[in-house]
Structure 1
């Protein structure tokens, strides 16, 4: 199984904020083959860890009452060595602190920010919990992609706040795309989404999960109550689709990842956007 190369500034974790943790476990357990373990209620608020073949891949958390009006959502977390310093850098570079650094006993520190384009992005400062343990295998995270309404501001923000060493994959009016790292070493992407994101939809991070067969995954997901948001389409890097789970949280699937799968997934999503 591919082991993620989690360097500072790179994606290291994902979690789902959901209105129904039982339904989420049933859905993702069946779709991706995940198993689950609930954390101590007092220490971790009932946070649920999801694993694939014994390796940590994601978390699930129930929304509390003051979050009830918010949509269910998947979040990406970037690795940081100092969550407090990152919070200061976010503010200094046009972002917002949605939730300041919070200690997760024994595991690490987490925080949630809004970037300079309004997209929510989390950070994780690890102690015992280093991040997800497998990527780019069926049923695991394959790629992370920011759909930005202000592409230039987004690229600069992640360069300045998270120290991203970026590579411009494409820079045409029809398709602008920048990656964290280059080639097979790329770990995430930023897409100029200004031409297609509706006015009411803010910039947002998207998570892609690897699957063995996109069309079969769609059929299975829809049969369990998911909604097909964007039908399957082929790209040079895989077959892609967008779904919403039974409570509305959106995610993407991608088929046929090979060596350098994280990068291929990202380029494929961009090509198919």
Structure 2
């Protein structure tokens, strides 16, 4: 029996509500703005072993796959939209417009949107220190649990004042609120730690607890990808036109040929 159109629409809305609510306020996706889609696919395919598929957003967009798991998005719109080449984390929110308004009210800025990008709405924002982040309202891309476990190891905000930043994001994204499913905020090991259902999903760091805010820090969100061999990724990045900014046995900060910075982290790390 065919489902009535209104019933089907209600069912879709219900599924969307459940999936959004399940990661309420937590990072749910990462996306790269690039200039050259073909070159970007070649570099990340070589360094991280990703394969690619076209998304629903058009020819300028691709979804990266690690195995069969959607890992990240790539949008070759940096030149077209006059945007910086960069990796950006997106946080799940019940309403992109409300999140954008809260950002403005608290001294942040709205760079793009909110705009409709079926199956949802998105906005590109910046906190009051200038760190760029996105918000996503709607159906999540792929299986979020698989994405969280198999794709980015975590995201970390490098900023001048971790506690001030935690307050800003907490007010925008309803962290540590009384709303069901919200993220918990803790201070652990010298960092502000964001947990979703007990799992660490983001960190905020600004230096020692008693230290004054460091004016030399350029606030930014750093995206970490879990890999089996950090050294092999670093050598591959150099071979394919990227560069290595920092490297240890368990972690390397890399830069792609376009200038976007990201980190590879050993899967052996807890």
Q: Please give the root-mean-square deviation of Cα atoms over the aligned residues, in Å.
A: 2.6
CA 1:56/1:110 → structure 2, altered by over 3 Å: closer, same or farther? same
Segments of structure 1 that go 5 or more residues without pairing to the other structure are: 171-175, 234-238, 259-263, 265-273
1:23 to 39, 45, 56: 39
Deviations 1:193-252 (A, max 9, x none): 5889774x631000000110111221122111210001225xxxxx11100012211000
The answer to whether the Cα contact below 8 Å between 2:33 and 2:78 also exists between their aligned partners in 1 is no
Q: Contact 1:6 / 1:12 at 8 angstroms: preserved in 2?
A: no
Distance 2:148 2:40 in 1: 20
**How far apart in 2 are the matches of 1:15 and 1:123?**
11
Equivalent position to 1:167, from 183, 186, 201: 186
Which residue, 82, 89, 102 being the options, matches 2:102?
89
Question: How far apart are the structure 2 equivalents of 1:84 and 1:182?
Answer: 23
Alignment correspondent of 2:205: 191
- Helix, strand or coil for the counterpart of 1:181? strand
Q: Give the CA deviation at 1:145.
A: 0.5
State the 1:190 CA deviation.
0.3
> How far is the alpha carbon of 1:10 from its aligned partner?
0.6
Cα separation, partners in 2 of 1:74 and 1:52, compared to 1, 3 Å:
same
Aligned equivalents of 2:214 and 2:233: distance in 1? 25
Gaps of 5+ in 2: 1-20, 176-183
CA apart distance, 1:257: 3.8
Is 1:108 matched up with 2:108? no
Match of 1:251 in 2: 262
Distance 2:84 2:96 in 1: 26
User: Aligned-pair distance for 1:65?
Assistant: 3.6
For 2:191 and 2:140, the matched residues in 1 are separated by 34
Shift of 1:17: 0.5
Tell me by how many angstroms 1:134 deviates: 2.2
Answer whether contact 1:144 1:205 (CA < 8 A) is retained. yes
Counterparts of 1:30-41 in structure 2 under 5 Å? 30-39=46-55
Flag the structure with larger Rg. 2
The match for 1:48 among 57, 62, 83 is: 62
Q: CA deviation at 1:71?
A: 4.0
**Aligned 8 A contact 1:16 1:75 in 2:** yes
2:239 to 201, 207, 223: 223
Report the TM-score, using the length of structure 1 for normalisation.
Answer: 0.78
Contact 1:117–1:153 (Cα < 8 Å) also in 2: no
Q: May I ask how many residue pairs the two structures share in their alignment?
A: 238
Q: Identify if the C-alpha distance between structure 1 residues 10 and 61 changes in structure 2 by more than 3 Å, giving closer, same or farther.
A: same
Tell me how far apart the structure 2 counterparts of residues 21 and 215 of structure 1 sit (CA, whole Å).
25
The superposition leaves residues 14-60 of structure 1 with CA deviations (integer Å, 9 ceiling, x where unpaired) of 111111111110111122221112246xx536211111222211111
